[in-house]
Amino acid sequence: MPAPPAQEKQKKQGLFKQKDQPQKESADADLLSDLADMSRRLRTIEERYANMQGRIQLIEHNMVSHYRYTNTEIKTQTSEITEVKKELHELKDRLLMMIREMEASAKKEDVKVLERYLNMWEPLNFVTRNEVNDIIREILLENQKNS
């Protein structure tokens, strides 16, 4: 059965019924109010979005600055560590050289043995070749004078 024409109009109108003029003005006012409310909300959202973009830019700037600072600190620390390693290597080499020299030097017992030999030989009582030659000349001169 087909629906009566009045019911068809009511079905087509849906939520926005237009029965008389005052209702249309009221709907227009409601629509304008909703539109103004949506516009206000949209502006608020846009402001929030702009504020968030500013904050994100600030955060990005701070992160880049912090990254650069951290990077320079890491490079500084790395160079200091390298320098300390070089100094440590030099100290190690010097210590090894000192140890080799100490191992090559005479020990206390060796020096005492030499001291005993020197005391026994008494090298201060030895004469040099020049002294022996001088003594021989003197003796020869004396012999020539006496003869």
Structural element, H or E, at residue 135: helix 129-146
Same domain, 88 and 37: yes
Alpha-carbon distance values, 12 to 3, 6, 15, 94 (Å) = 12, 10, 9, 103
C-alpha to C-alpha distance for 56 and 61, rounded to whole angstroms? 8
C-alpha to C-alpha distance for 26 and 21, rounded to whole angstroms? 9
Which 3 state secondary structure label does DSSP give 116? helix
Range of 82's domain? 20-105
Residue 123 has pLDDT above 80, yes or no: no
Express each pLDDT in 11-64 by its tens digit: 555 555 555 555 677 888 888 999 999 999 999 999 999 999 999 999 999 999
Q: For the chain, what is the domain count?
A: 2
pLDDT at 5: 52
Q: Are 126 and 120 in contact (CB under 8 A)?
A: no
Same domain, 66 and 90: yes
Same domain, 86 and 47: yes
Same domain, 143 and 98: no
Same domain, 43 and 82: yes
